[in-house]
C-alpha cells in the first residue's frame, strides 16, 4: 500500500470511529435531518407529469435532493450538488464552466439536458446550453431539486433529451432573513442575502448576492503542434468568474381557490468559457433578465387550471477567439497556431424568449384516473452576435394520464407534439407500468421517446476564422436543413425496502440515439478552395446529422437511515455505449463506471459533519476505435485519459453566542492536491486537459 493510501485509510478510520462513538450517546437532533424513509417515499414531486404525484408512484424515474440534503452536502454550487446522484455526470472545465449530463452524454457545451426553475425553462435556445453559474438562484434559494433520469419530451417537448433538472425554489413560510458569507483559497468570495415578508394573503421574497473567483489553479493546457506548450489565454487574467444576481418574488392568495405569483430578476457578470477543445478560454460578458407570472385556479376539488407566462432576455459579448494580430505577435510560439479573427471587434448578441403555458390537471374519482393536459407557445427572437438574425416559434399540445387499476397496479401514458417553425413537427411519448407488489417492493417499467431540436447556432451560425502561419481559413456555417436528434429508451426499475431504515434501488436502461449532431467543428467539409497566388486554403464546414448510436447501463443506489440525524447513501452506475463517439469532432464523456458514497451526521450539540466520496472511471477506449472507423477514429483517442477519485468534507457548528448563527468549512478534494477531471487527445492538438486543485471554503450562515 502506498504512503498516500495508508494515510488516507488512517484518516478515514479515525473519522468514522469518531462518528460511531458520538452516535452512541446521541439522543436527539436538529429537525433539518429528520427525514425518514416513509417521508421520502411520500414526498410529492411535480416534474414527472406537471402535477403532484408521490415519488413512489412517479411514472418515470425521478431522483430528489431535499433542502436538508442540500444544506448538509456542503456543495458550493448546483452542479457539485448533482454529482452525488448515480446517473448524473459532471465535467468540470473551470470556475465558470461546468457541464452536467445524465447517463453519460457529457460534452463541452452540453445541449442535451433541459434545466427548469419552478417549471420554467433555463435553456438558452440561441446556443442550446445551460450556463449553470449564471442561473438566477443559489443553493440557499432551493427547496428541492427533482431530476428526471432519461427522456421527458412527453411532458416538456424539445430538448428534454437526456433528462430534466427541475429546481424548485423556497416559499416564504415565516418573516425573516438569511445571510451567507464565504471565502476560500483561489480568492473565492461569495455573499448571499435572502429576506422574506408575509401577511395573511401575501408573501414577498428578495434574494440577491455576488460571487467572485480569482484563480489560475484550474486551467486548460494544449501542447499543440509539435507539442509546443501553449497557454489558455494570451493575457494572464486571474479573474475566472464574477457573477451578481438579484430576484424579487411575490405571491398573493386572493382566495383559497386563486393564487397569483410573479417574479423578476437579473443576473450579470463575466464568465471565462471555451466552446471547443483547441480554442482559448475567453471572457463572456453576460446579462440575463426575466419576468414570469402565474395564475393558479382551483375550479373544484381535484381540478386546477394554471396559466404561466415567462419572458427572458439573454445578452452576451465575447471576442470568442483572439485577433490574428494578437496571435502573430504572441511571445509564446505555440500561440501562433490558434484560430483567430481578422477583426478584433467582439461578438454582441441579444436573444429574447417568451412563452405562455396553459395546464389543466384533474382527477376522476369514479374511474381512478388522473390527467394533465395543456397548451404551450414559445417564441425565440435572436439579434446579432455569433448567429445571424433569426427567430422561431414552437406551438405544443400535451396530455398524460394515469389509471390506478387497484392499490397495487397503475398504468400511465403521455404524448406531446411540438410544431416548430423550422424543424416542423416532432413528438415525445411515455408509457409506463407500476406494480407495488407489497409495502416494501416496487417495480416500474417505462418506454419513452424524446427529441432535441437544433439550436439557432447550429442552424444559422456564420463565423470566419483564420489560422495564421498555416495559410488556412475556415468558414463555419449553420445548416437550416438539420433534423431533430431522437432518443428511445426502455427502463426497468426495482425498489426494495428493508424495514423503515434502508432501501435499495436498481435500474437498468437501454437507449438508442438517431441523427446525432456534433459540436461546431464536427461537420463535414462542404467546400475547399485554394488560391495559388498566396498558397491559401479556404475550407467551409457545416453541421450535419452524422451518427446513430446506442447505450445500456445499470445503476444501484442504497440509502440507510442509521438514526435521527444520521444517514448513509451509496450508489454505482455503469454504462456501455456503442457508436456514441463516432461523431467527428465531438467527445462524449461516458464513464464506464462511477460510484458515490456519503455519510451525514448531526449531533445534539449543533455539530454537523458530511463526508462525500466520488470515483469516476475513464471512457471505454473501444468507443474511439469501433465500427468502420479508422484505427484512431474520427475523434479524440483519449489514450491518456485518467480516472480520478475525490473526497469532500464539510464541518459546521451552531454557535451559542447568537441564535441562528452557524459557521462552516468545506474541503473539496481532501486527500489529493490535484486531479485531472477532463483530458483528451487528438492528432492536431496532441493534448487538452483540465486540472483541478484542492478547494477550501469557509464562512458563516446567519438566520434571523
- Cα–Cα dist 622/638, whole Å: 11
Q: What pLDDT is attached to residue 173?
A: 84
Helix, strand, or coil (residue 612): strand
- Listed as own residue / partner, the contacts of 661-665 with beta carbons closer than 8 Å and 24 or more positions apart are 661/700, 661/701, 661/702, 661/703, 662/606, 662/700, 662/701, 662/702, 663/698, 663/699, 663/700, 663/701, 664/74, 664/698, 664/699, 664/700, 664/701, 665/696, 665/697, 665/698
Note whether 149 and 164 are within 8 A (CB): no
Intervals of the chain under pLDDT 50: 1-33, 222, 224-232, 522-523, 626-637, 682-685
Residue 167 makes CB contacts below 8 A (sequence gap 6+) with 78, 115, 116, 117, 118, 135, 137, 142, 145
- Cα–Cα dist 437/431, whole Å: 19
Residue 256 makes CB contacts below 8 A (sequence gap 6+) with 298
Q: What pLDDT is attached to residue 226?
A: 39
Residue 495 forms beta bridges with which residues? 442, 505
Alpha helices by DSSP H, listed for 377-475, are 456-460
- Cα–Cα dist 50/427, whole Å: 17
- Cα–Cα dist 220/230, whole Å: 9
**Burial call 386-408: b when 16+ CB within 10 Å, e when fewer:** bbeebebebebebbbbbebeeee
Q: Where are the beta strands (DSSP E) in 125-185?
A: 142-149, 163-169, 176-184
Alpha helices by DSSP H, listed for 25-146, are 37-41, 67-73, 78-82
Note whether 336 and 330 are within 8 A (CB): yes
Residue position matching grid coordinates 468568474:
241
Note whether 492 and 444 are within 8 A (CB): yes
Backbone angles phi, psi at 59, to 5 degrees: -70, -15
DSSP, res 543: -
Helix, strand, or coil (residue 139): helix
Based on the number of CB atoms within 10 Å of its own CB, is 498 exposed (0-12), middle (13-18) or buried (19 or more)? exposed
How many of the other CB atoms lie within 10 Å of CB of 500?
11
Angle in degrees, CA 232, 115, 442, rounded to 5: 125
Nine cell digits for residue 435: 406494480
Q: How far is CA 32 from the centre of its chain?
A: 25
- Cα–Cα dist 56/62, whole Å: 9
Q: What pLDDT is attached to residue 666?
A: 93
Residue 70 makes CB contacts below 8 A (sequence gap 6+) with 81, 139, 142, 144, 145
Helix, strand, or coil (residue 694): coil
Report the length, in residues, of the chain.
Answer: 704
Distances (CA, A) of 488 to 113, 128, 356, 448, 625: 15, 21, 28, 6, 25
Nine cell digits for residue 369: 384516473
Based on the number of CB atoms within 10 Å of its own CB, is 124 exposed (0-12), middle (13-18) or buried (19 or more)? buried
- Cα–Cα dist 487/449, whole Å: 6
**Burial call 280-316: b when 16+ CB within 10 Å, e when fewer:** bbbbbebebbbebebebeeeeeeebebebebbbbbbb
Residue position matching grid coordinates 402535477:
51
**Burial call 50-87: b when 16+ CB within 10 Å, e when fewer:** bbebebbbbbbbbbbbbbbbbbbbbbbbbbbbbbbbbb
The widest CA-to-CA distance across the chain, in whole angstroms, is 86
Note whether 343 and 326 are within 8 A (CB): no
Question: What is the helix (H) or strand (E) element at residue 692, kind and residue range?
Answer: strand 688-693
CATH class, domain 25-703, is mainly beta
- Cα–Cα dist 662/182, whole Å: 12
- Cα–Cα dist 580/267, whole Å: 35
Q: What pLDDT is attached to residue 276?
A: 66
Domain boundaries, the chain: 25-703
Note whether 105 and 87 are within 8 A (CB): no
- Cα–Cα dist 533/125, whole Å: 42
Angle in degrees, CA 671, 675, 679, rounded to 5: 165
End-to-end CA distance of the chain: 50
- Cα–Cα dist 112/633, whole Å: 23
- Cα–Cα dist 561/602, whole Å: 12
- Cα–Cα dist 273/94, whole Å: 8
Helix, strand, or coil (residue 489): strand
675-685 pLDDT per residue, tens? 777 665 544 44
Exposure of 40 in the CB half-sphere (CA atoms within 13 A) = 22
Residue position matching grid coordinates 455573499:
191
Note whether 72 and 650 are within 8 A (CB): yes
Distances (CA, A) of 663 to 239, 435, 566, 611, 703: 27, 46, 20, 17, 12
Amino acid at each position: 500500500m502506498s504512503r498516500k493510501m495508508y494515510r488516507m485509510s488512517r484518516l478515514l478510520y479515525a473519522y468514522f470511529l469518531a462518528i460511531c462513538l458520538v452516535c452512541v450517546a446521541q439522543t436527539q437532533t436538529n429537525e433539518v435531518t429528520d427525514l425518514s424513509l416513509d417521508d421520502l417515499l411520500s414526498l410529492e414531486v411535480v416534474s414527472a407529469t406537471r402535477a403532484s404525484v408521490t415519488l413512489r408512484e412517479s411514472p418515470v424515474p425521478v431522483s430528489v435532493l431535499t433542502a436538508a440534503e442540500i444544506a448538509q452536502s456542503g456543495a458550493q454550487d448546483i452542479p457539485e450538488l448533482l454529482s452525488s446522484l448515480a446517473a448524473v455526470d459532471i465535467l468540470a472545465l473551470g470556475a465558470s464552466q461546468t457541464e452536467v449530463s445524465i447517463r453519460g452524454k457529457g460534452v463541452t457545451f452540453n445541449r442535451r439536458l433541459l434545466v427548469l426553475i419552478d417549471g420554467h425553462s433555463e435553456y438558452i435556445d440561441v446556443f442550446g446550453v445551460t450556463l449553470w453559474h449564471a442561473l438566477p438562484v443559489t443553493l440557499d434559494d432551493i427547496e428541492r431539486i427533482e431530476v428526471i433520469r432519461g427522456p421527458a419530451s412527453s411532458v416538456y417537448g424539445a430538448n428534454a433529451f437526456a433528462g430534466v433538472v427541475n429546481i424548485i425554489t423556497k416559499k416564504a413560510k415565516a418573516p425573516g432573513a438569511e445571510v451567507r458569507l464565504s471565502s476560500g483559497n483561489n480568492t473565492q468570495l461569495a455573499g448571499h442575502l435572502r429576506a422574506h415578508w408575509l401577511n395573511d394573503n401575501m408573501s414577498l421574497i428578495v434574494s440577491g448576492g455576488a460571487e467572485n473567483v480569482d484563480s489560475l489553479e484550474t486551467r486548460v493546457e494544449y501542447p499543440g503542434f509539435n507539442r509546443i506548450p501553449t497557454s489558455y489565454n494570451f493575457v494572464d487574467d486571474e479573474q475566472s468568474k464574477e457573477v451578481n444576481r438579484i430576484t424579487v418574488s411575490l405571491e398573493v392568495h386572493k382566495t383559497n381557490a386563486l393564487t397569483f405569483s410573479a417574479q423578476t430578476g437579473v443576473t450579470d457578470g463575466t464568465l471565462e468559457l471555451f466552446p471547443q477543445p483547441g480554442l482559448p478560454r475567453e471572457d463572456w460578458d453576460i446579462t440575463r433578465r426575466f419576468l414570469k407570472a402565474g395564475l393558479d385556479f382551483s375550479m373544484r376539488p381535484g381540478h386546477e387550471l394554471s396559466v404561466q407566462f415567462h419572458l427572458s432576455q439573454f445578452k452576451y459579448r465575447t471576442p470568442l477567439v483572439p485577433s490574428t494580430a494578437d496571435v502573430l505577435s504572441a511571445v509564446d510560439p505555440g500561440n501562433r497556431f490558434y484560430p483567430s479573427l481578422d477583426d478584433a471587434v467582439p461578438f454582441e448578441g441579444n436573444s429574447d424568449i417568451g412563452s405562455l403555458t396553459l395546464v389543466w390537471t384533474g382527477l376522476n374519482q369514479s374511474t381512478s384516473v388522473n390527467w394533465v393536459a395543456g397548451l404551450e407557445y414559445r417564441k425565440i427572437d435572436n439579434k446579432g452576435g455569433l448567429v445571424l438574425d433569426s427567430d422561431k416559434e414552437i406551438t405544443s399540445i400535451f396530455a398524460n394520464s394515469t389509471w390506478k387499476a387497484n392499490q397495487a397496479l397503475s398504468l400511465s401514458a403521455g404524448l406531446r407534439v411540438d410544431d416548430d417553425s423550422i424543424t416542423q413537427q416532432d413528438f415525445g411519448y411515455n408509457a409506463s407500468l407500476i406494480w407495488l407488489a407489497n409495502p416494501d417492493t416496487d417495480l416500474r417499467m417505462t418506454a419513452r421517446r424524446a427529441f432535441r431540436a437544433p439550436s439557432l447556432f447550429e442552424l444559422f451560425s456564420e463565423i470566419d476564422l483564420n489560422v495564421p502561419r498555416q495559410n488556412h481559413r475556415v468558414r463555419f456555417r449553420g445548416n437550416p436543413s438539420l433534423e431533430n436528434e431522437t432518443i428511445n429508451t426502455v427502463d426497468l426499475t426495482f425498489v426494495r425496502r428493508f424495514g423503515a431504515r434502508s432501501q435499495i434501488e436498481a435500474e437498468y436502461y437501454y437507449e438508442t440515439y438517431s441523427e446525432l449532431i456534433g459540436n461546431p467543428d464536427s461537420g463535414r467539409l462542404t467546400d475547399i478552395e485554394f488560391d495559388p497566388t498566396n498558397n491559401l486554403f479556404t475550407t467551409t464546414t457545416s453541421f450535419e446529422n452524422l451518427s446513430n448510436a446506442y447505450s445500456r447501463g445499470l445503476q444501484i443506489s442504497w440509502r440507510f437511515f442509521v438514526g435521527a440525524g444520521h444517514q448513509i447513501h451509496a450508489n454505482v452506475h455503469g454504462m456501455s455505449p456503442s457508436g456514441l463517439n463516432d461523431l467527428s469532432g465531438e467527445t462524449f464523456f461516458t464513464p464506464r463506471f462511477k460510484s458515490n458514497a456519503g455519510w451525514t451526521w448531526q449531533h445534539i450539540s449543533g455539530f454537523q459533519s458530511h463526508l462525500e466520496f466520488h470515483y469516476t472511471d475513464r471512457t471505454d477506449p473501444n468507443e474511439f476505435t469501433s465500427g468502420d472507423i479508422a484505427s484512431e477514429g474520427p475523434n479524440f483517442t483519449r489514450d491518456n485519459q485518467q480516472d480520478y477519485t475525490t473526497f469532500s468534507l464539510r464541518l459546521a457548528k451552531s454557535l451559542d453566542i447568537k441564535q441562528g448563527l452557524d459557521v462552516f468549512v468545506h474541503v473539496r478534494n481532501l486527500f489529493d492536491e490535484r486531479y485531472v477531471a477532463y483530458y483528451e487527445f487528438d492528432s492536431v492538438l496532441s493534448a487538452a486537459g483540465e486540472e483541478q486543485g484542492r478547494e477550501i471554503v469557509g464562512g458563516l450562515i446567519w438566520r434571523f
